[in-house]
Amino acid sequence: MTSVAAAIAGVLATGDPRAKIAAARKVARDWRLGRLDWRFDTPMPDRPARPAEPELLPPSAMPRRGKGSQHGRIALVHAIAHIEFAAIDLAFDIAGRFGGTFPRAFTDDWLAVGADEAMHFALLDRRLHALGSRYGALPAHDGLWEAAGDTAHDPLARLAVVPMVLEARGLDVTPATLARVEAAGDAPTARILRRILSDEVRHVAAGTRWFEFGCAERGFDPQATWQKLVTQHFRGTIKGPFNDSARDSAGLTREYYAAIAR
């Protein structure tokens, strides 16, 4: 029987967006149906495969998005689609890289998250086509995978930075984005954003739950450990405004982030 690690590595080695969606869904389904063996015998690549487009730029070199225009709406949907595309690899990588150090339920959670991210990307890619564009038509940045590279050595650091900082930031900013989209009368994009926001609460909850599990195993205080790891491994700043209610629903209480927020 194929190992789950080998199947995950296959997702990470797939660059074409539509093929990656199909691979991600198949691995998540095969795992759920017991068709993959819980073995971690295949190393994860340092970087996942990427399509020829979009052009990847440093975050500081990204062009500003216009607001209110059709081009601005396309740029917004494209930016979110790119985040979701990268999130597919982030979810599968954390399962394949660190699954052997956690109980089997860890793999259950992160392959389910990866399937969610693939679904989000598929919805946004379809929306881009409806708006007369496509994924890859605009440049994007590679900041999300930089965070993965910085935390590839430590599961607690990865959990602290990716789901508990980067994805939690989505809980903070998506409601305002959703309000702007609704005000512009773009109901199809609004429906997608509402689905993403709902799913992100579960994703942040999974990150927080497994972070606390790992801290308990090591005898670490979770809030103090999170603050230390974020200070060491996150290149940005923790800044509000915060969606405290959504964060609380995910178990990411103010005791984690208030002390280091700006």
* Model pLDDT for residues 235-254, shown as the tens digit of each residue: 889 999 999 999 999 999 99
Mean pLDDT of 48-73: 77
- Structure confidence at residue 69 (pLDDT): 66
CA distances, 62 to each of 10, 48, 56 (Å): 30, 22, 9
Q: Is the pLDDT of residue 262 over 90?
A: no
What's the confidence (pLDDT) of residue 30? 98
Please report the pLDDT score of residue 144 as a whole number: 78
Top pLDDT among 142 and 246 is at 246
pTM of the predicted protein model: 0.94
Judge whether 201 and 251 are in contact, CB under 8 Å: no
Mean pLDDT of 219-240: 95
Mean pLDDT throughout 121-126? 98
pLDDT (0 to 100) of residue 44: 97
Instruction: Summarize the confidence of residues 141-163 as an average pLDDT.
Output: 91
Residue 65 Cα distances to 9, 124, 202, 250, angstroms: 34, 17, 29, 30
State the pLDDT at residue 145.
Answer: 84
pLDDT class of 62 with cuts at 50, 70, 90: low
What is the reported pLDDT for 116? 98
- pLDDT value at 68 more than 60: no
Say what the pLDDT of residue 66 is. Answer: 55
Mean per-residue pLDDT, 178-196:
96
Please state the rounded mean pLDDT for residues 124-142.
94
